[in-house]
Amino acid sequence: MDLDALTGCLASSACLVTQTTSGFIIGMLLFLVAVGLTLIFGVLKVVNFSHGAFYMFGAYFAMTAYQLSGSFALAMLCGAAGTAILGLIFERVFMSRVYGADVLMQLLVCYAFVLIFDDVVRMIWGPEFKSMGMPAAFQVAPLFIAGGVVPPYYLLLIGVALAAAMILGLGLARTRIGKVIRAAAHNPGMVSALGINTGLIYGGVFALGGMLAGLAGALAAPVRSLTPGMGFSVLIESFIVTVIGGMGSILGALIGALLIGLIRSFGSLGFPLFTEGLMYLFMVIVLVSRPTGLFGKEVA
Amino acid sequence: MTRTRKPGVSRRATLAMMGAGALTFASPWLARAQAKTIKIGMPTILSGRVAQLGTSSRNAVMLEIEKVNAAGGLAGRQIEMVIRDSKGQPQEAARVARELVNTDGCEILIDAEASSGAFAVHEVARDLGVLCLHTNSETSALSADPKQHIPNAFRTARQGVHDSIVGGSYAAAIAKAKGLKKWATCSPDYAYGRDTTGEFVTYLKRFAPDIEIISESWPKLFQPDYTEVVTKILQAKPQALYSCLWGGDLTSYIDQANIYALFSQMEVFAVNMADYTALTVVKNLPKGIHSGNRYIKTYPATPENAAWGDAYKAKYNEYPTNWSWENATAIMLLAEASKKANSADGKKIAEAMRGLKIKSPFGADGTVTMRAEDQTLVGYAIGWGTTIPQEPYVPQVQAGDWKTIFELEAEWKKSKGYT
């Protein structure tokens, strides 16, 4: 434990800015993965354990697109669009068959695909780790804000993730499609009886969730090494986020992810040997005091 | 009327039984034919983030086995490799190792595991008494600690304490020249990371006593994001940074530290940088990172080493890794020891291997030695240099001096209570 370092940091604006942005970067990528997870659970009522694979595919798609075209924007687009299509196919062909089934059955299907997707990546891109490399446009000196260090690429990353959060939140709350999705989450039988194609809604939501995870992977590709199985560690943290924020709540996922990010960045200063433990400890406290999560609704 | 099967033995069952009987009688002959070959079991990591290193271990072993088999095998017996994936999990490595010996009938084990798995396989070797060559674990205690010592286990890998002595003296010289007094460390949080960093700091301080460690970070192994560690180091404002992160973890760390311009703010000493797996993957390799040699075909700068590196590349279309030379050395030693003992028996090979000195492309003076007292490899090429972003990546390597290494290693063993 190193409380001096922590209090010292809290007293200096430079350190505060640096550590807060560092927490936001970790949190925002986590949010993109976790929000897909929570959305799919909210509407489809399945826990998608293979969600980490979409993060992985997003990163690989982006890397390949970037290598072929040299365009960073196109790489992001390919990462997101590719995983959306993959999500749609995965949901329609496999997941839709196990909706009514036992939770264990769903888990088994998802876990099988964790292994299958990892092997597919290994077959296409090889077992060795890869690096996409930072696009030339972002190979610039970091910015100094109030003495704190902020890399420009991370500003973009936070911006894109925040924009995704806002579009998603507003879209669900304000648009007609959003209302249909919320209705389908609440009472799929009734929605179906009203002549709305719930299969399409389900596929769409799964594709959206996959796309967000893919976008996270694509955004992470320039700074994280790419390897088969890379989705797994992200998935575990995403679960912690959804448990803290409340399953099915988008705002919960955002707050939960940012909290985890901040716990990591400030925890590594104050409790360098217990940063991981802090996350779990926080989760336990939330679970004990609010079993449905910070923003979760009581299950009727 | 339907035909029902009569009770008793059917014709088909009789035929099957006769077939089985024939096989049983024929099998002593089959078994004798199989005994001509000798099976060597090899648990290694073929999936997950370290898979590339495991694959490069397998490649190097197969490259050497081909040569040994072409020259007649181990005392006339052709070698058959049985290579299994441990997924990098210690309990799986132990299970696979046991199975290779008990079920597959392997008579020798090549333990191509990282340190986490090597200690587990070591216990299996202790239990079964089978000849075991640790090829990848560089944790010093595996051979230095007398509690770990068993007559049938050898290490053909470099050793953390050797790297630390050479690295410590190299870094101390630079620290004195450039006035680097405040240091930070950042290494993975497991046996190898902790031990190697501790040893490096010990020798750094020994050669340059006024150095101070002002910040330590211990990210966990295979952590995807190091941002919080990078910013923590930036806050501490050290003049130099030591890290023994490796493989994909190191390349992630470099990519993430790069956008914080960390490399322009301090001298970086990353012992595992100069390995082709990391060098060829990082797109924007910062110039001037200090690194120990891992495997590089230009050091030692001999035709033998260059030829070995090129032969590997010609066969597998990529450069060998640190794990490659360590595994190749295991096979070279096995072949020589078996020749000396004129036997493929594990115990006799072990006897012949103790103290054995062989010609090697990876030797500091063209030879490597399996030191008898602790059954670990010495005399291999070891040195430090700075990186450039294109071939030959580390243009000039300063060789470590084995005389100094031996002296300080003996002292270190004493201080640890090992001798």
Tokens of B394: 């580390």
**Chain B: closest CA distance from residue A269 (Å):** 7
If one counts the domains in chain A, the total is 1
Residue-wise pLDDT for A26-81, tens only, equals 999 999 999 999 999 989 989 999 999 999 999 999 999 999 999 999 999 999 99
Q: Is residue A107 part of a domain?
A: yes
Residue B2 has pLDDT above 60, yes or no: no
Chain A residues inside the 8 Å CB shell of B229: 268
Q: Which ranges of B208-356 does DSSP label H, i.e. alpha helix?
A: 227-236, 247-258, 276-281, 303-316, 322-341, 346-353
Residue-wise pLDDT for A278-291, tens only, equals 999 999 999 999 98
Tokens of A206: 């799964």
Residue B24 has pLDDT above 60, yes or no: no
- Average per-residue pLDDT for chain B: 90
User: Measured in whole angstroms, how far is the alpha carbon of residue A250 from the centre of its chain?
Assistant: 11
Residue-wise pLDDT for B342-396, tens only, equals 999 999 999 999 999 999 999 999 999 999 999 999 999 999 999 999 889 999 9
Q: Is residue A135 part of a domain?
A: no
Any idea what the CATH number is for the domain that residue A228 is in?
1.10.3470
Q: Which residues contact residue B320 at a Cβ distance below 8 angstroms, ignoring those fewer than 6 apart?
A: B56, B59, B60, B276, B295, B297, B308, B309, B312, B313, B328
pLDDT mean over B135-139:
93
B 53-82: CB under 8 A from A: 55
Q: Is residue A282 part of a domain?
A: yes
- Name the most confidently modeled range: A222-236, B235-249, B369-383: B369-383
Chain A residues inside the 8 Å CB shell of B223: 233
Q: Is residue A136 part of a domain?
A: no
Chain B residues inside the 8 Å CB shell of A1: none
Structural domain boundaries, residue A193? 3-128+143-289
Residue A167 has pLDDT above 60, yes or no: yes
Q: Is residue A117 part of a domain?
A: yes
Neighbours of B226 (CB within 10 A): 27
When pLDDT is cut at 50, 70 and 90, the band that residue B284 belongs to is confident
Q: Is residue A295 part of a domain?
A: no
Task: Report the percentage of chain B scoring pLDDT > 90.
Answer: 79
Residue B17 has pLDDT above 80, yes or no: no
Residue B172 has pLDDT above 80, yes or no: yes
Q: Is residue A14 part of a domain?
A: yes
Closest CA to B328 of B348, B307, B347, B350: B307
pLDDT mean over A75-96:
96
Chain B residues inside the 8 Å CB shell of A118: 47
**Number of residues that make up chain B:** 419
**Which among A225, A265, A272 has the least Cβ separation from residue B252?**
A225
Give the three-state DSSP class for A100.
coil
Q: Is residue A218 part of a domain?
A: yes
When pLDDT is cut at 50, 70 and 90, the band that residue A242 belongs to is very high
Residue B155 has pLDDT above 90, yes or no: yes
Residue B31 has pLDDT above 50, yes or no: no
pLDDT mean over A100-122:
92
Tokens of B161: 């304490």
pLDDT of residue B30: 46
- Cα–Cα dist A109/A90, whole Å: 11
Residue A298 has pLDDT above 60, yes or no: no
pLDDT of residue B257: 94
pLDDT mean over B107-133:
96
pLDDT of residue A300: 40
- Cα–Cα dist B275/B304, whole Å: 19
- Average per-residue pLDDT for chain A: 91
- Cα–Cα dist A85/A211, whole Å: 8
- Name the most confidently modeled range: A197-201, B175-179, B392-396: B175-179
pLDDT of residue B7: 56
Domains of chain B: 36-159+302-378 (3.40.50.2300), 161-298+383-415 (3.40.50.2300)
**Number of residues that make up chain A:** 300
pLDDT of residue B9: 58
Q: Which ranges of B179-246 does DSSP label H, i.e. alpha helix?
A: 191-207, 227-236
B231 vs A234: CB contact, 8 Å cut-off? no
Look at strands B212-217 and B397-399 and give their pairing: unpaired
pLDDT of residue A14: 86
Residue-wise pLDDT for B188-225, tens only, equals 998 889 988 999 999 999 999 999 999 999 998 888 88
B 164-223: CB under 8 A from A: 216-218, 220, 222-223
Closest CA to A217 of A110, A98, A101, A117: A117
pLDDT of residue A4: 83
A129 vs B52: CB contact, 8 Å cut-off? yes
pLDDT of residue A129: 84
Q: Which residue of chain B comes nearest to A222, CA vs CA?
A: B255
Q: Does A145 touch chain B (CB under 8 A)?
A: no
Helix crossing, A231-245 with A250-270: angle to 10°?
110
